[in-house]
């Protein structure tokens, strides 16, 4: 748990519990981090602080690249990025309607089914948005 989380202790606890549930229910997920759009770790799953901080920074960069590509392609916005390899996948997905703006970065192994991972990630983001608005 990041001591300087913009969500405070209660919000960070809510986010951590949601990530734990997501990790337990989603096949192939090896780690995840909830991050602010400026690249700071809010909550993480199965990562030490150093790794979570690195993933948060890289996830923020991927999200920014996706937004730039979407603008140049005259698309409304980029809601997610997917990086695939033979051994797994990394996704970065926007958490809707939260303040500060945040994204969810997920690392999954080759046991994951991409469509199921994307659906579960989107549901996790929706749940995070709903719970964080209530805190």
Q: What is the CATH number of the domain that holds 109?
A: 3.30.450.30
**Is 49 a member of any domain?**
yes
**In which residue are the tokens 């300087």 written?**
4
Beta bridge mates, 43: 34
Write out residues in the chain with pLDDT < 70, as ranges: 1-4, 135
The boundaries of the domain holding residue 73 are 8-134
Contact in structure between 78 and 57 (CB atoms under 8 Å): no
Per-residue pLDDT at 6: 78
Flag whether 102 is in a domain. yes
**Which two three-digit tokens encode residue 109?**
């192994």
pLDDT of residue 135: 61
Q: pLDDT tens-digit profile of 80-109? A: 999 999 999 999 999 999 988 999 999 999
Nearest 5°: CA angle at 93, between 62 and 101?
A: 85
pLDDT of res. 2: 43
Q: Is the peptide bond before 100 cis (omega within 30 degrees of 0)?
A: yes
Burial of 79 (0-12, 13-18, 19+ CB in 10 A): middle
């Amino acid at each position: 748990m990041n001591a300087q989380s913009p969500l405070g202790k209660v919000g960070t606890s809510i986010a951590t519990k949601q990530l734990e549930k997501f990790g337990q229910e989603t096949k192939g997920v090896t780690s995840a981090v909830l991050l602010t759009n400026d690249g700071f770790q809010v909550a993480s799953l199965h990562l030490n602080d150093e790794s979570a901080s690195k993933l948060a920074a890289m996830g923020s960069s991927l999200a920014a690249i996706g937004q730039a590509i979407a603008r140049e392609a005259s698309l409304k916005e980029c809601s997610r990025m997917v990086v695939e390899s033979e051994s797994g996948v990394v996704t970065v997905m926007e958490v809707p309607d939260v303040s500060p703006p945040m994204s969810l970065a997920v690392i999954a192994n080759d046991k994951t089914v991409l469509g199921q991972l994307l659906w579960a990630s989107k549901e996790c983001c929706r749940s995070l948005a709903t719970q964080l608005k209530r805190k």
